[in-house]
Amino acid sequence: MDRTACIDLPAFPLQLLLLRHPDWREHPAAVVEADRPQGIVLWANERARALRVLPGMRYAAGLSLAPGLRAGVVPEDEIRRAEAALAERFRRFTPNVEPSAGEPGVFWLDARGLERLFPSLEDWARRLREEAAGAGFDASVVVGFKRFGAYALARAHRGVHVLKNAAEEREATRAVPLDRLALPPATRDALARLGIVTVGGFTDLPAGGIATRFGPEVHRLHRVASGDLEVPLQPERPDVPATRRLVLDHPEEDAGRLIAAIEGLLGPLLDEVGEKGKALAELTLGFRFERLGDHVESLKPASPTLDARLLMELVRLRLQAVRKLPDRVVEVLLAAGETEAAQRKQRLFAEAGGRDLAAANQALARARARLGDDAVVRARSRDAHLPEASFAWERLDALGDAAPRPVSEPRLVRRIHARPQPLPPRERHEPDGWMLRGLEQGPVVRVLGPYVVSGGWWERPAHRDYHFAETKDGEILWLFYDRGTRRWFLQGRVE
């Protein structure tokens, strides 16, 4: 006999919001569509509802009713992540779990045959509810026979409910108020105006009339609710990345032999990735050491690939850097970071340029493999006034085509220190002049400035008086006096 269960975590985004801000439970709180006064309230907690703050209202309107109304946005990806985590938990109770595509916090579960694994379906359902509670969520669980029936009853009732037979489910479903279902509000209201407020009343309407007046979506729902249309459970199949594991009978301390062992694993791993129609974008190497425990390294080829030779070259570069393994390796794990295989573009008419970008990127990948992921970076200009804040280093994954901008007039080059270097305080008496760089550079002969940079008062106030100082032997130094610390710093020099 088909048994289908439905778990409903009512107002799921609101539950997530209150998990994020537990102190808000003591206040009226709501999930809003956007963080602005005109943001629509999507869900409101009991305290807010008691003050008549209702979904559909603008936050500003809610605030006039509940002056202490707390509100936050729960982004889609946060909901998806939480749903995925819950689905993972529920899979411990049944392999087939289907999260609802349109309603956050609703899951269908395959309950067939589970009474043989658990003392009873009631017990199974209760454990599911406890599982949700363990993650901090309130849930209702209904075990029924039809997908729609279980869903409608889970939305309508709190707690755990196991239906005995299909007739009982049908009867109970007919009485479920339509406003408990996630019908489009316009449809729900239109039906209510016709006096149709329960599932039973809805299914009693002629199907043709529904199709004409409410469109195919509602017609489909009508068919599902009437039992004219069966929708099978569509369990989510998590996409498990390809992995290969090798437990070494004899712990290995030689890097060369370890590389050979990895090579043995890599071929089958790439075959599996290839069979999925994908390519490898990242290779994760996991090592379990005898004493030091687990360690992970990751390697990125210049572009997604299934080329074992190329990947092994990167593995060698990374591991050959290690003269001697720090400990004996007892287990090796290879995991593939997969991506859709790119179609190779045919450059029929493209002329071969003087630069080979692919070769350059390959070289950069080798540098990363040899020296670590942060070895290849580039400076990105940033919109800020302080010199060290006006650029940032960012990882460079791949080189693009060069597009140099024309320069109308040549500029002096300023070299900048990664961090301004503190200079010794200036003497009150400098009989030989200001010896910025010691005796060998001579005293400062000319100073330009001050050029003032000040700001950031809302975060970290800064006030610097910048100068260009020329020493006797011609060096031009770029320095500043920091008014906060009352010290001189060297920012860089001018060439």
Partner 1 sequence: MSTYAPLWCKSCFSFLEGASHPEELVEACAAQGIETMALTDRDGVYGVVEAHVKARETGVRLVLGSEVTIDDGSTLVLLATSRKGYANLCELITAGRRRSEKGVSRVGWREVYEHAEDLMALWGGDRGLLAGEADPFFVAHGLGEAFGDRLYAMAARHRRAEEPRREARLRQRAEKYRIPVAAAHEVLYHKPARRELQDVLTAIRHRVKLVDAGRLLKPNHEHALKPPRAFERLFEDDPAAVARTLEVASRCSFSLDGLRYRYPSERLPDGKTSADWLRELTSEGARGRYGGSVPEDVARQLEKELDLIVELDYCGYFLTMWEIVRFCRERGILCQGRGSAANSAVCYCLGITAVDPVRLGLLFERFLSRERAEPPDIDLDIEHDRREEVIQHVYAKYGRTHAAMVANLIRYRPRSAVRDVGKALGLAETALDRLSKLLPHYGDVAPEAFAEAGLDPEHPVHRDVLRLSSEVLDFPRHLSIHPGGFLLGHDPVSTLVPIENATMPDRTVIQWDKDMIEELGLFKVDLLGLGALNQLHKAFDLLERHHGKNLSMAAIPPDDIATFDMICRADTVGVFQIESRAQMAMLPRLKPRTYYDLVIEVSIVRPGPITGGMVHPYLKRRAGEEKVVYPHPTLEPVLAKTLGVPLFQEQVIRLAMVAADYTPGEADQLRRDMAAWRKTGRIERHHERLVRRMTAKGIEPEFAERVFEQIRGFGEYGFPESHAASFALIAYATAWMRRHYPDVFACSLLNAQPMGFYSPATIVEDAKRHGIEIQPVDVTVSDWDCTLEPGSRPRFAIRMGLRYVKGLGESEWKRIEAARGERPFASVADFVGRTRLDEGTVARLAEAGALSRFEPGRRGALWAAKGAARATRAAMDLDREEATPSFEGLGPVETIGWDYRTTGHSPRGHPLAPLREKLRARRLPDARTVSRLPHGRLVHYAGLVICRQRPGTASGVVFMTLEDETGFVNVVVWSRVYEKHKVLVKTTSFLGVTGKLEVQDGVTHLVAESFWTPKDLLEPAKVGSRDFH
Minimum distance, C-beta of residue 164 to partner 1, in the bound complex (Å): 32
CA distance 471 to 313: 51
Residue 382 as a binder of partner 1 (CB under 8 A): the answer is: yes
Smaller CB separation from partner 1, 245 or 415: 415
Minimum distance, C-beta of residue 225 to partner 1, in the bound complex (Å): 16
CA distance 388 to 489: 13
Minimum distance, C-beta of residue 26 to partner 1, in the bound complex (Å): 11
Residue 383 as a binder of partner 1 (CB under 8 A): the answer is: yes
Minimum distance, C-beta of residue 138 to partner 1, in the bound complex (Å): 24
Yes or no: say if 142 and 133 are a contact pair by the CB < 8 Å rule: no
CA distance 262 to 253: 14
Residue 492 as a binder of partner 1 (CB under 8 A): the answer is: no
Exactly one of 51, 135, 255, 423 binds partner 1 (CB under 8 A); which one? 51
CA distance 183 to 196: 13
Smaller CB separation from partner 1, 205 or 396: 205
Residue 56 as a binder of partner 1 (CB under 8 A): the answer is: no
The residue count for binding partner 1 (CB under 8 A) is: 47
Minimum distance, C-beta of residue 146 to partner 1, in the bound complex (Å): 24
Exactly one of 165, 212, 234, 421 binds partner 1 (CB under 8 A); which one? 212
Residues 385-404 within binding reach of partner 1 (CB under 8 A): 385
Region near partner 1 per CB under 8 A, out of 8-16, 104-112, 150-158, 191-199: 191-199
Q: What angle do CA 187, 189, 193 make, to 5 degrees?
A: 115
Residue 65 as a binder of partner 1 (CB under 8 A): the answer is: yes
Helix axes 207-226, 147-156, angle to 10 degrees: 90
Minimum distance, C-beta of residue 493 to partner 1, in the bound complex (Å): 15
Region near partner 1 per CB under 8 A, out of 83-91, 222-230, 376-384, 418-426: 376-384
Residue 448 as a binder of partner 1 (CB under 8 A): the answer is: yes
Minimum distance, C-beta of residue 77 to partner 1, in the bound complex (Å): 19
Residue 21 as a binder of partner 1 (CB under 8 A): the answer is: no
CA distance 369 to 108: 45
Exactly one of 22, 102, 134, 195 binds partner 1 (CB under 8 A); which one? 195
Region near partner 1 per CB under 8 A, out of 44-52, 270-278, 358-366, 424-432: 44-52
Exactly one of 43, 59, 137, 151 binds partner 1 (CB under 8 A); which one? 59
Minimum distance, C-beta of residue 409 to partner 1, in the bound complex (Å): 8
Residue 36 as a binder of partner 1 (CB under 8 A): the answer is: yes
Exactly one of 46, 76, 130, 204 binds partner 1 (CB under 8 A); which one? 204
Smaller CB separation from partner 1, 245 or 382: 382
Exactly one of 102, 119, 134, 208 binds partner 1 (CB under 8 A); which one? 208
Smaller CB separation from partner 1, 38 or 234: 38
Residue 14 as a binder of partner 1 (CB under 8 A): the answer is: no
Residue 113 as a binder of partner 1 (CB under 8 A): the answer is: no
Residue 450 as a binder of partner 1 (CB under 8 A): the answer is: yes
Distances (CA, A) of 112 to 93, 127, 140, 227, 230: 11, 16, 19, 20, 17
Question: Which chain residues interact with partner 1 by CB under 8 A?
Answer: 27, 32, 35-37, 39, 50-52, 59-60, 63-65, 67-72, 190, 193-195, 204-206, 208-209, 212-213, 382-385, 408, 448, 450-455, 457-459, 466
